[in-house]
Chains A and B, each alone.
Chain A
Amino acid sequence: MTEVVRLAGLTKDYGRHRALDAVDLSVEPGEVLGYLGPNGAGKTTTIRILVGLLRPTSGSVQIFGLDPWRASLPIHARIGYVPGELHLYERLTGYETIEYFASLRAGRATHRDRGTDLHSARTLAERFDLDLTRRVRALSRGNKQKLAIVQAFMSRPDLVLLDEPTSGLDPIVQQEFHVLLRELTDRGGTALLSSHVLDEVQRLADRVGIIRAGHLVAVERLELLRSRALHKVEARLGTNVRHDYFTQIPGIRDLSLEHGVMRCGVPEASLDKMIKALGQLQILDIAITEADLEEMFLTFYGSTEADVV
């Protein structure tokens, strides 16, 4: 199977500032790749290069095997794009916006039909409860974001490039968006989803690329990422026990023991040892929870810097 998106050694400089440094990343057909990182890490730069708005300083970029800088037309006929910094035509209505883009997408070269796109846009707008007759200027931030999603998905794209697509959306609409994304991948479509909302990536992505300060720190399957990550253990103990009873468990961190309540993090690989150690003691209450991506982030970056999230 050939990758839908392939980045090799992608580097982008803005003057003397290096925004992306030798990023290697690929997105397989039918998957959702979560692209996770703090603001300013290079997510938007990557996506704008993929859309052909920026030219890479070095390295290679391919979408459907084509170079987005040189062959933007055949690529754009097959992609949908939700920009990170959304700017729509303020003076147009939602419908005029959709109509404009549909007419730009239509034509023999793109094998698109304006009517079909318009029809699917109307259906999507209904699903998201978006009033297309209102002027963009008069729409709330969330409604503008809905319009961005509608225009990105209306032509049944093979690939969607989504830069923080759910920012400004309320939870119910986010849920509907997740369903929409699932429908896309179910019919073989692919998505690159940039986000700093960890929960969202956790729910949607098959694999996660973690980027920080222009460097791709890791690309992992979500399950692998989880298995590497810490599990949080909290136990109320009936037995008096000393701190160093637990310290020999490999990989244990953030251990605390106060008023008979033990709290710590252990990697999945050490869970068995942890349970057996606890088995020797009287347990009044216990909770073991999976660490979320935020904590995974910290283990990957090996730091607790405030800008990580």
Chain B
Amino acid sequence: MSFSIVRRTLRDQRRGLTAWAVALAGLVGMYVAVYPSVSGNSSFAKMIEQMPKAYRTLFTTGSGIDFTTPAGYLNTELLTFMGPLLVLVYAIGAGAAALAGEEDRGTMDLLLANPVSRSRVVGEKFIALVIGTAALMVVLWLALVGEGRAAGMGVPLGRSGAALLHLGLLGVEFGTLALLIGAFTGRLAASRAIPAVSAVTAYLVNGLGPLVGWLRPLRKGSPFFQYIGHDPLRTGVSGLAAAVALVSIAALLTGALMVFRRRDLGA
């Protein structure tokens, strides 16, 4: 196999991916630059302590706010909200464009008129999604470690890598959900909207789980819990959480393959 579809897909994304990479590196740089003034400022910590508990829990996904250590600061500022938001926007966009984008725009007809099986299209589009997400994680990682070092912040190489591995899995999970919706509907709007709403729901379930009684049992099922529930920036990779994410991704991908192989493609 020549992986022509993977290469074509990534080449089509090259400008978008570059923009994402620059934006992410810039974002990290901004957080790192602000850190010294935040960590040394006790009134800032006091202000945060006076926030309602629900608010604090929601925006720290239960791990509590700690601006005195680099890990705590990055957790709160980057990893619990902004990081996932940006990664999910990319991954859901890429996953939706993969099948629904081609079908919605009508290019799927000519693509599939080549000697290319539908499974191969799904498979290669998925590989492109994984590579794209991984590339963004690597950029984010280099930015965290590099810019952190330059600012004397001391971001741990391994642990931050672990956090980004889990973040990447989170992105691929929702990206594959978008791929599945695309395989099922062939509609771009639905392939973006359904995973986006699912991601917000999963975020709230994880964030509010500790506070709301009936949500508590659901919390462990949230992909956000697999991502950050074990606090990867402090504890490293969780084999269990990674396995749950991988199994979910595999299930979504299998679903996409099965649905896409059986369906009439839009005229």
Contacts and interface: CB of A to CB of B under 8 A. Distances in A.
A87 B105 contact: yes
A79 B115 CA distance: 9
Nearest to B264: A54
A91 B12 contact: yes
Interface in B235-266: 262, 264-265
A103 interface: yes
A209 B262 CA distance: 30
A105 B113 contact: no
Contacts of A90: 105
A81 B114 CA distance: 9
Contacts of B8: 100
Nearest to A12: B264
Interface string B104-119: 0111111111111100
A107 B117 CA distance: 14
Interface residues of A, number: 33
Chain A CB within 10 A, most for which of B1, B108, B265: B265
A81 B1 CA distance: 23
A177 interface: no
Contacts, number: 74
A109 interface: yes
A113 to B, nearest CB: 13
Interface residues of B, number: 23
A262 interface: no
Nearest to A114: B2
Interface string B1-21: 110110010001000000000
A100 B110 CA distance: 11
A194 interface: no
A87 B110 contact: yes
Interface in A26-84: 44-45, 48, 51-55, 72-74, 76-77, 79, 81, 83
A151 interface: yes
A43 to B, nearest CB: 12
Nearest to A77: B115
A104 B5 contact: yes
Most buried by A among B5, B109, B112: B109
Interface of B: 1-2, 4-5, 8, 12, 105-117, 262, 264-265, 267
A101 B109 contact: no
A307 interface: no
A70 to B, nearest CB: 10
A104 B114 contact: yes
Contact of A85 (B4, B106, B114): B106
A104 B116 contact: yes
A104 B110 contact: no
A107 B2 contact: yes
A106 interface: yes
A89 interface: yes
A110 interface: yes
B106 A79 contact: no
Given A44-B267, A48-B267, A53-B264, A83 B110 contact: yes
A201 B2 CA distance: 40
30 contacts: A44-B267, A45-B267, A48-B265, A48-B267, A51-B109, A51-B113, A52-B112, A53-B108, A54-B265, A72-B115, A73-B115, A73-B117, A76-B113, A81-B109, A81-B113, A83-B110, A83-B113, A85-B106, A85-B109, A87-B105, A87-B106, A87-B109, A88-B107, A100-B8, A101-B114, A104-B114, A104-B116, A106-B2, A107-B1, A148-B110
A44 B105 CA distance: 18
A88 B12 contact: no
B107 A87 contact: yes
A76 B267 contact: no
A34 B112 CA distance: 24
B187 to A, nearest CB: 15
A83 B109 contact: yes
8 tightest Cβ-Cβ pairs between the two chains A and B: A87-B106, A81-B113, A104-B114, A76-B115, A77-B115, A103-B4, A53-B265, A54-B264
A100 B4 contact: yes
A60 B41 CA distance: 77
A148 B110 CA distance: 9
A45 B267 CA distance: 9
Contacts of A44: 267
A99 to B, nearest CB: 9
A250 B267 CA distance: 47
